[in-house]
Amino acid sequence: MSLDGYVAGPSQDVEHPLGVGGERLHEWIYATASFQRMIGADGGEFGVDEDVFAAGFDGVGATIMGRNIFGPVRGPWSSPAWDGWWGDTPPFHHDVFVLTHHARAPLVMDGATTFHFVTEGRQRALALAKEAAGALDVRLGGGAHTIREFLALGLIDELHIALSPVLLGSGERLFVDGDDDANLTCAASVATTKATHFTLVAR
């Protein structure tokens, strides 16, 4: 999240998947050793940012995301259909449940990632994700609208916010006017030069 409250920049499209300027929010990730391994590179930094980024994958058995996170396409799926931002081997390595209004067959990718397209709503996606995860956690991958919906239903146990020292000026907000604190309390915070990491947990 930027200092002025945006989690993505404006004008998201294929050329700007995070919105114009939105990649600046994730600079704390790019230098970490885990991210470098994810993109097939060597090296990378260790420390707080690395620990926080790596922890986001520990013990996760399934992911839920909104369609806007999966890709920039809207309406019925085109042909050839969009297959995600992540290439042939997405970094999830488990089942991913994409919320959408348009049915589509599961998309099986290399590296044990399968995208399932759920048209029956948030509760159905959560039930399927819990079943797929078994004893492991379900991660909510965004975007902002999806997170707000799950917060409103009291379905988030823990929320990580990385507050980046940048100003975007416009874009997509995680919290909007009228939101309350969603029954969350700050359990921990730690700062680096690239981000301040807040762990919020359900009361």
Q: Name residues whose C-beta falls within 8 Å of residue 70's C-beta, 6 or more positions apart in sequence.
A: 82, 84, 85, 98, 100, 115
For the segment 150-169, the average pLDDT, to the nearest whole number, is: 94
Domain boundaries defined on the chain: 60-135
pTM for the structure as a whole: 0.92
Over the stretch 38-90, which tens digit does the pLDDT of each residue have? Answer: 888 899 999 999 999 999 999 999 999 999 899 888 888 887 778 988 989 99
Over the stretch 92-151, which tens digit does the pLDDT of each residue have? Answer: 999 999 999 999 999 999 999 999 999 999 999 999 999 999 999 999 998 999 999 999
178 pLDDT band (50/70/90 cuts)?
Answer: low
